[in-house]
A and B are shown apart, each in its own frame.
Chain A
């Protein structure tokens, strides 16, 4: 039994002794100080207090509690403690205490005054708790929160920076841009959109795209395209729409849209870019009109020239006048070239406006090839054209138009093979299609131009310097083959000749 318990005066009250024993066994550190003696000395401490401080009872009893704070005396909590002791009040404080070995522990200290019947404080009871673990955890939490806060601040700053960077681009760009949410409501619009469509920014924000203006955006096709974007990240490009806008009249627009994601901020937004191509289309239209009218106007005088010429040639031959025969032949070739060029230009104009009619009929492919070869052999007898591959096959198509393709391809082969005179035509059949390849050993075509030579008015740089032409022949050919549901392509290397091939289905649907 502890001395303290042994020495307790026996008032014949067993409960008091039991309470004292319990106090002694408590896991909380307990001290009692004597308030009536100078400097508030400790008169009792339990075992837990010894464990908590690392000091033994001998070193504790008789001392003021302040030795527990070692040199760390300027703690605010000590002032609170001092005041409570002075006023004889309860108080709970958190103190940095130091164990005998110098280790710091966080001590949660509760003090309670004990008063005599007259109400004067005689003792203080101090209950101590080592809350180091809890305080450390709390501190770590605070630290982590601070780090997190700092990261959030940094992130926000970065976002603000990138947003202002983006908005600078968005505002400078000459296209109209709007951002939509998943319900197709407008979240933002750039200045160009507002000025072009004469809408006030505040009027359209939050509005459904299809409800602004006179509902001119509400086009079923566009609705479908926009609604398809988010679920499958399915962007679209080049959607053309022509519409009457209440404020700006009829406009031709081209629309691109895609899903917009900003990591960690949003992912269900749609960026819709709108380009006004009204003017461009009008210019294209005027250009086509010009080509159409110009070639029409050229056709009549050319017919007259050709007629007169044939007549003169005929009369000269009849009169056995050979003086101008060579001149007639040269001029005849030139007229033929001019005629084909005008026809091609007229075809371009007609194809652009979809006015070309195709008459599909079954015919012999061999005959088509041979007819074209005859035309070429007449105008360029010095070139030798050979035909290889399958003998013959019946194909469904527009004979006249396909003959035009063949003459065009053969004329090109002749034109671009000034030195090597051999040209081969190879016919083959592949599952349901026929394939015709025209091979020459001429100047060839650079790889970068393989696709572009089929565009309207495109001429490869190297070619346009050495050979005359306007760049419509292959465009017309590719359009004709396209109308036959076939493809026309080229394989070629510079100075190694070219192979132009096309395929068309044996039967047209």
Chain B
């Protein structure tokens, strides 16, 4: 699962990971990230901590 509010970055990271064989869930809306995380329970979470720092802390606590 990748979270970034920059769509361009989200797209390219998603493509590179998919190319490398990963199944990718991209989330650009930080408000939805928590919900998606809970339902999808991803193995790996890539997060842009610059803009989503509160989310990071919350998910880590989760």
A interface vs B, CB < 8 Å?
Answer: 300-301, 303-304, 307-308, 310-311, 314-315
Contact = CB atoms under 8 A, between A and B. Distances in A.
Contacts of B11: 304
Contacts, number: 26
Contacts of A314: 19
The residue among A300, A307, A315 with the most chain B CB atoms within 10 A of its own CB is A307
A300 B8 contact: yes
A178 B59 CA distance: 63
Interface in B1-56: 6, 8-9, 11-13, 15-16, 19
A384 to B, nearest CB: 35
A308 B8 CA distance: 9
Contacts of A308: 12, 15
Contact of B8 (A304, A310, A311, A315): A304
Nearest to B11: A304
Nearest to A310: B16
A301 B8 contact: yes
B43 to A, nearest CB: 22
A300 B9 contact: yes
Given A304-B12, A307-B9, 14 more contacts: A300-B6, A300-B8, A300-B9, A303-B9, A303-B12, A304-B11, A307-B12, A307-B13, A307-B15, A307-B16, A308-B12, A311-B16, A311-B19, A315-B19
A109 to B, nearest CB: 114
A254 to B, nearest CB: 37
A304 B16 contact: no
A307 B7 CA distance: 13
Nearest to A314: B19
Contacts of A303: 8-9, 12
B19 to A, nearest CB: 6
A315 B19 CA distance: 9
Contacts of B13: 307
B9 A304 contact: yes
A315 to B, nearest CB: 7
11 contacts: A300-B8, A301-B8, A303-B8, A304-B8, A304-B12, A307-B9, A307-B13, A307-B15, A311-B15, A311-B16, A311-B19
B3 to A, nearest CB: 15
Closest 10 pairs (CB-CB, A-B): A307-B12, A304-B8, A304-B12, A308-B12, A300-B6, A311-B15, A311-B16, A304-B9, A303-B9, A307-B16
A311 B16 CA distance: 6
A311 B14 CA distance: 11
Contacts of B19: 311, 314-315
Contacts of A310: 16
